[in-house]
Protein backbone atom coordinates (compact mmCIF):
# COMPACT_ATOMS: atom_id res chain seq x y z
CA UNK A 1 0.00 0.00 0.00
CA UNK A 2 1.31 3.44 -0.95
CA UNK A 3 0.50 4.93 2.48
CA UNK A 4 2.82 2.75 4.53
CA UNK A 5 6.58 3.30 4.60
CA UNK A 6 8.82 0.69 2.93
CA UNK A 7 10.28 -2.01 5.13
CA UNK A 8 14.03 -2.44 5.33
CA UNK A 9 15.44 -5.63 6.80
CA UNK A 10 18.84 -5.49 8.44
CA UNK A 11 20.58 -8.47 9.97
CA UNK A 12 23.49 -8.31 12.39
CA UNK A 13 25.81 -11.32 12.30
CA UNK A 14 29.11 -12.19 13.93
CA UNK A 15 30.91 -14.40 16.43
CA UNK A 16 29.65 -14.66 20.01
CA UNK A 17 30.42 -11.77 22.36
CA UNK A 18 31.64 -9.28 19.74
CA UNK A 19 28.91 -6.88 20.90
CA UNK A 20 26.07 -7.34 18.42
CA UNK A 21 23.37 -6.94 21.04
CA UNK A 22 25.25 -4.10 22.70
CA UNK A 23 25.46 -2.18 19.41
CA UNK A 24 21.77 -2.60 18.73
CA UNK A 25 20.85 -1.66 22.29
CA UNK A 26 23.01 1.45 22.04
CA UNK A 27 21.46 2.45 18.75
CA UNK A 28 17.88 1.88 19.87
CA UNK A 29 17.99 3.15 23.43
CA UNK A 30 21.37 4.83 23.88
CA UNK A 31 22.21 2.40 26.67
CA UNK A 32 25.03 -0.01 27.41
CA UNK A 33 24.83 -2.96 29.76
CA UNK A 34 27.88 -4.71 31.08
CA UNK A 35 26.06 -7.90 31.83
CA UNK A 36 26.49 -10.53 29.15
CA UNK A 37 23.10 -11.83 28.10
CA UNK A 38 22.92 -14.59 25.59
CA UNK A 39 20.44 -13.69 22.90
CA UNK A 40 18.77 -16.40 20.92
CA UNK A 41 17.05 -14.33 18.32
CA UNK A 42 15.56 -10.91 18.64
CA UNK A 43 13.80 -8.77 16.11
CA UNK A 44 13.65 -5.02 16.71
CA UNK A 45 11.28 -2.90 14.70
CA UNK A 46 11.46 0.87 14.48
CA UNK A 47 10.51 3.76 12.29
CA UNK A 48 13.44 5.69 10.89
CA UNK A 49 13.69 8.71 8.68
CA UNK A 50 16.49 10.13 6.59
CA UNK A 51 16.33 13.33 4.53
CA UNK A 52 17.17 11.45 1.34
CA UNK A 53 14.85 8.46 1.59
CA UNK A 54 12.11 9.66 3.95
CA UNK A 55 10.31 7.39 6.40
CA UNK A 56 10.95 3.68 6.55
CA UNK A 57 10.14 0.77 8.77
CA UNK A 58 13.40 -0.80 9.86
CA UNK A 59 13.64 -4.35 11.14
CA UNK A 60 16.90 -5.23 12.86
CA UNK A 61 17.49 -8.92 13.47
CA UNK A 62 19.94 -9.69 16.28
CA UNK A 63 21.28 -13.16 15.60
CA UNK A 64 23.46 -13.44 18.71
CA UNK A 65 23.75 -17.04 19.70
CA UNK A 66 21.61 -18.37 16.88
CA UNK A 67 24.32 -20.56 15.40
CA UNK A 68 22.45 -23.56 16.64
CA UNK A 69 19.74 -22.75 14.11
CA UNK A 70 21.46 -22.84 10.72
CA UNK A 71 18.19 -23.07 8.82
CA UNK A 72 17.02 -19.86 10.41
CA UNK A 73 20.26 -18.12 9.57
CA UNK A 74 19.99 -19.24 5.98
CA UNK A 75 16.45 -17.92 5.74
CA UNK A 76 17.37 -14.52 7.15
CA UNK A 77 20.37 -14.25 4.83
CA UNK A 78 18.13 -14.81 1.84
CA UNK A 79 15.60 -12.19 2.95
CA UNK A 80 17.74 -9.36 4.28
CA UNK A 81 18.36 -6.05 2.56
CA UNK A 82 21.71 -5.34 4.24
CA UNK A 83 24.16 -7.21 6.43
CA UNK A 84 26.12 -5.95 9.41
CA UNK A 85 29.06 -8.29 10.01
CA UNK A 86 30.51 -7.53 13.41
CA UNK A 87 33.91 -8.45 14.83
CA UNK A 88 35.67 -7.21 17.96
CA UNK A 89 38.98 -5.35 17.56
CA UNK A 90 40.54 -7.49 20.32
CA UNK A 91 39.55 -10.79 18.73
CA UNK A 92 41.24 -11.77 15.43
CA UNK A 93 39.20 -14.98 15.38
CA UNK A 94 36.05 -12.92 15.17
CA UNK A 95 37.36 -11.29 11.99
CA UNK A 96 37.94 -14.73 10.52
CA UNK A 97 34.30 -15.42 11.32
CA UNK A 98 33.37 -12.28 9.37
CA UNK A 99 35.26 -13.71 6.37
CA UNK A 100 33.37 -16.99 6.66
CA UNK A 101 30.04 -15.23 7.00
CA UNK A 102 30.74 -13.12 3.93
CA UNK A 103 31.53 -16.24 1.90
CA UNK A 104 28.35 -17.89 3.13
CA UNK A 105 26.26 -14.82 2.31
CA UNK A 106 27.69 -14.46 -1.20
CA UNK A 107 27.07 -18.12 -1.88
CA UNK A 108 23.49 -18.07 -0.60
CA UNK A 109 22.60 -14.85 -2.38
CA UNK A 110 23.98 -15.89 -5.75
CA UNK A 111 23.56 -13.07 -8.22
CA UNK A 112 21.32 -11.04 -5.92
CA UNK A 113 24.21 -9.09 -4.42
CA UNK A 114 24.96 -8.62 -0.76
CA UNK A 115 25.18 -5.14 0.73
CA UNK A 116 27.66 -5.71 3.55
CA UNK A 117 28.89 -3.34 6.25
CA UNK A 118 31.78 -4.73 8.29
CA UNK A 119 31.76 -3.35 11.83
CA UNK A 120 34.83 -3.33 14.09
CA UNK A 121 33.28 -3.06 17.54
CA UNK A 122 34.99 -2.34 20.87
CA UNK A 123 36.91 0.50 19.22
CA UNK A 124 37.31 1.99 22.70
CA UNK A 125 40.03 -0.62 23.38
CA UNK A 126 43.62 0.55 22.98
CA UNK A 127 46.48 -1.74 22.00
CA UNK A 128 47.47 -1.85 25.67
CA UNK A 129 43.94 -2.93 26.50
CA UNK A 130 43.95 -5.75 23.99
CA UNK A 131 43.24 -4.28 20.58
CA UNK A 132 44.85 -6.50 17.93
CA UNK A 133 43.14 -5.39 14.73
CA UNK A 134 43.98 -1.96 13.34
CA UNK A 135 41.34 -0.01 11.45
CA UNK A 136 43.58 0.85 8.50
CA UNK A 137 44.47 -2.76 7.75
CA UNK A 138 40.94 -4.06 8.01
CA UNK A 139 39.65 -1.16 5.92
CA UNK A 140 42.09 -2.02 3.12
CA UNK A 141 40.74 -5.56 2.99
CA UNK A 142 37.09 -4.67 3.33
CA UNK A 143 36.77 -1.55 1.19
CA UNK A 144 39.54 -2.41 -1.24
CA UNK A 145 39.19 -6.16 -1.64
CA UNK A 146 35.56 -6.85 -0.79
CA UNK A 147 33.88 -3.70 -2.00
CA UNK A 148 31.96 -3.52 1.29
CA UNK A 149 31.50 -0.71 3.83
CA UNK A 150 33.75 -0.53 6.86
CA UNK A 151 33.16 1.27 10.15
CA UNK A 152 34.55 1.07 13.64
CA UNK A 153 32.29 1.70 16.61
CA UNK A 154 32.06 1.27 20.33
CA UNK A 155 28.84 0.18 21.94
CA UNK A 156 30.48 0.92 25.27
CA UNK A 157 31.14 4.62 24.63
CA UNK A 158 28.43 5.01 22.01
CA UNK A 159 31.07 6.16 19.53
CA UNK A 160 29.83 5.89 15.94
CA UNK A 161 27.01 3.45 16.71
CA UNK A 162 24.72 5.67 14.66
CA UNK A 163 27.31 5.46 11.87
CA UNK A 164 26.93 1.68 11.84
CA UNK A 165 23.24 1.83 11.07
CA UNK A 166 23.60 4.79 8.75
CA UNK A 167 26.13 2.77 6.72
CA UNK A 168 23.76 -0.19 6.62
CA UNK A 169 20.80 1.90 5.52
CA UNK A 170 22.86 3.68 2.86
CA UNK A 171 23.43 0.35 1.16
CA UNK A 172 19.76 -0.44 0.84
CA UNK A 173 18.33 0.34 -2.52
CA UNK A 174 14.93 1.65 -1.48
CA UNK A 175 13.35 2.37 -4.86
CA UNK A 176 14.19 -1.17 -5.90
CA UNK A 177 12.25 -2.55 -2.93
CA UNK A 178 9.26 -0.39 -3.71
CA UNK A 179 8.79 -1.73 -7.20
Which residue number places its CB atom closest to ligand GDP?
Answer: 19
Q: Which is nearer to ligand GDP, 32 or 174 (CB)?
A: 32
Q: Are 115 and 153 in contact (CB under 8 A)?
A: no
Q: Which of 9, 73, 102, 122 binds ligand GDP (CB under 6 A)?
A: 122
Nearest to 118 by CA among 98, 144, 90, 132: 98
Residues 56-115 within binding reach of ligand GDP (CB under 6 A): 64
Judged by CB under 6 A, does residue 21 bind ligand GDP?
Answer: yes
* Contact range with ligand GDP by CB under 6 A, out of 48-56, 107-115, 137-145, 153-161: 153-161
Tell the smallest beta-carbon distance from residue 154 to ligand GDP (Å).
4
Q: What are phi and psi of 40, to 5 degrees?
A: -90, -55
Size of the chain, expressed as the number of residues it contains:
179
In the chain, what are the helix, strand and coil shares in percent, each to the nearest 5? 40, 25, 35
Judged by CB under 6 A, does residue 124 bind ligand GDP?
Answer: yes
Residues ≥6 apart with Cβ < 8 Å to 118: 85, 87, 98, 138, 142, 146, 148, 149, 150, 151
Size of the site for ligand GDP (CB under 6 A): 19
Q: Are 93 and 62 in contact (CB under 8 A)?
A: no
Q: Which is nearer to ligand GDP, 39 or 53 (CB)?
A: 39
Q: Which is nearer to ligand GDP, 1 or 36 (CB)?
A: 36
Judged by CB under 6 A, does residue 135 bind ligand GDP?
Answer: no
Amino acid sequence: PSGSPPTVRLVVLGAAAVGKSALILRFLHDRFEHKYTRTVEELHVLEYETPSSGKMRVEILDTSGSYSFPAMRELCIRHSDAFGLVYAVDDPGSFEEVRRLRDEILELRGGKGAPITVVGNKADLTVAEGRELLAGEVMATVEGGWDANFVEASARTGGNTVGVFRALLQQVNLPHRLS
